[in-house]
Structures are given as structure tokens and as C-alpha cells.
């Protein structure tokens, strides 16, 4: 009995996994929208923007405002698309021309419903390189064109070259930063010496200032002593001569005798 229950459980698990792996089936209405999106993308949207890969055609839109472009696309091209989306799409196709060259043919086309949008991807054969065009429609009855872009397909060699270049740039940046950090750390040994040198200069300045002040003070004291000596001598001379004051006396020089 236990073996039978175990077998039933295993079969149920296998069936459950199989059911999870199956793609969700589309309704007839959804499949119709997918088919219509593919037709509109290949017959109208992509040829329209492929023509604007030409420089003169791309420049011809510069005279119109975004609202005017929206009106022209609705009235003349019968496409529900805003002027902003048109401008972005023209820039994408025009910038891709240098890599892909002119479009010569179409390759595989796929359409898929992704939530509120329908995404159509088409391989476009270029003179130099193939590209993948992506057209996104709104998933409703209006099927507004929400985005159009053209992305050149990179070969395996180009991808490897780009990956190697990114690796070299990344490693070079890391090593440059490490070298810069090492240089900064090596400069730390000079900081104490610089601090000691800066601290020594103010001390020397203070000593020099003190010496200068002492010299000035000694000079002032000497001058003061000389003046007092002159006054004493003048008073003695006046007393010897019986003069009442020292006015009129001039001491021209003083000579000391041992």
C-alpha cells in the first residue's frame, strides 16, 4: 500500500512539473493581436523609420514640434504614435546606420505578449552588420506604438573584445588607486619632520626677539647712565665756579680715568 501511494505521489509531481513547463495558451483574440502587430511592424513601422536612417530625412523632422509630429503620424501615416517616440526612434535608427549600413532585407520576426505590451522583434539585414529592431505596442484595441529601437547585433569576437577592454580598464583603475594610496601612505613619514620644523621656527624667532629686546634695553640703560653722569659733572663744575645753575654748561666729552 505504501509503495502504491508513493508511486501516485511521484506521478502527480511529474505531471505538475510538466504542466508548469508548458507555455500558457493564447486566446484567439490575443493571437490575432500578435499577428496584427507583426504585420504593422514589418509593413509600416520598420520601413518608415528605416527611411529616416538617411541624414536628410532625419534632419527634415527638426522643423516640426512634437505635437505636430504626432498629428502628422496619425493623419498621414495612420499610426498611433507620439512625437516623442518618433524622435527617439529616428535617433536610434540614424545612429545605428554607421554600424549596420542601409537595411537590405528582413529576417526572423517574433511577437510576444508581455503584460500590458506586445513586443515585436525583427532581424534586419544590414549592408555591414545585422541588427534587431524592437517595436513595442500597447496591449489593447488601439495598439499604440510605445517604443521603436534598432540595436546592432554584436559578434562573439566583438563581445569578447569589449569584455577584455572592460577588464583592463577596471584592473587599471584599481591599480592606479592602489598606487595613489601607497604614495599617500608613504608621505605620512614626512609629517612628523614637517611638524618639528614648523615648531622649531617659532622658538628661534622668540629667542631672536628676546636677544634684540635685551640689546635695546642695555642701550637705553647705557644712555641713561651717561645722562646721569653728565648731570653730576655739570653740577660739580657749577658749584666750583659759584654758579647758581648749570645753564650754559655744555659737556662735550667724558673720559674715564683708572
Q: Which of 121, 134, 74, 124 is nearest to 104 (CA)?
A: 124
Residue 51 has pLDDT above 70, yes or no: yes
- Using pLDDT thresholds of 50, 70 and 90, give the confidence band for residue 162: confident
Residue 258 has pLDDT above 80, yes or no: no
pLDDT of residue 45: 94
- Using pLDDT thresholds of 50, 70 and 90, give the confidence band for residue 183: confident
Instruction: Express each pLDDT in 138-154 by its tens digit.
Output: 998 889 999 999 999 87
Residue 56 has pLDDT above 50, yes or no: yes
Rg of the chain on CA atoms, in Å: 50
Count CB neighbours of 22 within 10 A. Answer: 7
Residue 104 has pLDDT above 70, yes or no: yes
Cα–Cα distance, 68 to 66 (Å, whole number): 5
Cα–Cα distance, 160 to 247 (Å, whole number): 112
Residue 211 has pLDDT above 90, yes or no: no
Cα dihedral 18→23→24→26 (10° resolution): -140
Residue 221 has pLDDT above 70, yes or no: no
pLDDT of residue 7: 55
Given the candidates 3.40.50, 1.10.10, 3.10.450, 2.120.10, the CATH classification of the domain at 25-153 is 3.10.450
In the chain, domain spans: 25-153
Residue 22 has pLDDT above 50, yes or no: no
Q: What value does the mean pLDDT take over residues 213-238?
A: 65
Amino acid at each position: 500500500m505504501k509503495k502504491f501511494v508513493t508511486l501516485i505521489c511521484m506521478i502527480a509531481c511529474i505531471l505538475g512539473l510538466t504542466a508548469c513547463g508548458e507555455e500558457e495558451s493564447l486566446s484567439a483574440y490575443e493571437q490575432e493581436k500578435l499577428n496584427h502587430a507583426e504585420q504593422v511592424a514589418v509593413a509600416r513601422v520598420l520601413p518608415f523609420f528605416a527611411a529616416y536612417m538617411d541624414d536628410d530625412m532625419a534632419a527634415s523632422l527638426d522643423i516640426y514640434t512634437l505635437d505636430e509630429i504626432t498629428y502628422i503620424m496619425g493623419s498621414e501615416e495612420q499610426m498611433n504614435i507620439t512625437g516623442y517616440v518618433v524622435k527617439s526612434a529616428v535617433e536610434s535608427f540614424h545612429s545605428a546606420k554607421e554600424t549596420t549600413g542601409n537595411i537590405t532585407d528582413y529576417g526572423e520576426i517574433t511577437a510576444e505578449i508581455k503584460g500590458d505590451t506586445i513586443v515585436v522583434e525583427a532581424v534586419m539585414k544590414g549592408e555591414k552588420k545585422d541588427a534587431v529592431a524592437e517595436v513595442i505596442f500597447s496591449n489593447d484595441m488601439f495598439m499604440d506604438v510605445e517604443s521603436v529601437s534598432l540595436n546592432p547585433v554584436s559578434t562573439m569576437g566583438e563581445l569578447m573584445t569589449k569584455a577584455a577592454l572592460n577588464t583592463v580598464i577596471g584592473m587599471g583603475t584599481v591599480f592606479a588607486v592602489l598606487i595613489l594610496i601607497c604614495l599617500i601612505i608613504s608621505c605620512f613619514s614626512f609629517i612628523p619632520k614637517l611638524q618639528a620644523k614648523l615648531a622649531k621656527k617659532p622658538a628661534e624667532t622668540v629667542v631672536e626677539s628676546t636677544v634684540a629686546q635685551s640689546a635695546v634695553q642695555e642701550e637705553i640703560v647705557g644712555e641713561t647712565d651717561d645722562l646721569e653722569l653728565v648731570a653730576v659733572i655739570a653740577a660739580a663744575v657749577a658749584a666750583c665756579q659759584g654758579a647758581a645753575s648749570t645753564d650754559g654748561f655744555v659737556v662735550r666729552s667724558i673720559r674715564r680715568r683708572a
